[in-house]
Amino acid sequence: MTAVATPRFVHVLERGDNLALPPLLLLHGTGGDEHDLLPLGRMVTPGATLISPRGQVLENGMPRFFHRLAEGVFDEADLRRRTDDLASFVQVVQAEQGLPAPIALGFSNGANIAASLLLHHPGLLRGAALLRAMMPYREPPAARLDGTPVLLLSGAADPIVPAANSAALAALLQGGGAAVTHQSLPVGHGLSQMDVGLLRQWLGSIQGMR
């Protein structure tokens, strides 16, 4: 396992020993990096290949995947451009490594760009687990998601993501045809053991699907 530089992203590629499992695309939250979610990825899908890029934006020295204007207010033009960059990165890694479509596992800022990937690049992801995600666009694009499985885990006491916002994201994805599982947990913005258990259960339910 080594962190390497590509033309677009510093990232970790950790080859799994079970190539029958879809790879996980790990997308960290604000202040994380390419190593941040590796332990979670290994925990919820032992043996899977892990692809973990570092966000290219710095906010007060903290890596993010796209710029924001204020907390909860995104620079949507930048989000769209960086979503396209991330999609290109995923396609390059797939081609170079001979990998199938990954399942995104994103937390907070990483979950938001994963939601943007679903909307702007349907078919790129095998599925997506969105932990503490919020609606990425004020006027989101229509997307045909054709049964793409999506797990959305919200925190009932989350001070950053209002319950109505995460519910709107779930409705948007479901309206586009995604198979959405949305649960509100009795936690805040941080991750919990409940997230781990639900992630493991959800991933196990979809990894054998074709």
Domain range annotation of the chain = 3-206
What is the separation of C-alpha 34 from the centre of its chain, rounded to a whole number of angstroms?
13
DSSP summary character for residue 101: P
What contacts 126, CB < 8 A, 6 or more positions away? 22, 100, 101, 102, 103, 148, 206
- Across the range 157-182, mean pLDDT stands at 96
- Indicate whether 150 pLDDT > 80: yes
Catalytic residue among 154, 158, 166, 195: 158
The pTM score is 0.94
Active-site residue flag, 108: yes
Query: Measured between alpha carbons, how far is 113 from 115 in angstroms, rounded to an integer?
Result: 5
Active-site residue flag, 36: no
C-alpha dist (Å) from residue 209 to 11, 50, 105, 127, 180: 28, 19, 17, 11, 15
pLDDT of 152 reads 98
- Indicate whether 160 pLDDT > 70: yes
Tokens of 17: 């020993």
Q: What percent of the chain has pLDDT over 90?
A: 89
Catalytic residue among 52, 108, 116, 154: 108
Q: Confidence class of residue 210 from pLDDT cuts 50, 70 and 90?
A: very low
Average pLDDT, the chain: 93
Catalytic residue among 35, 121, 182, 189: 189
Domain 3-206 is found in CATH 2.40.40.20: no
Tokens of 54: 């570092």
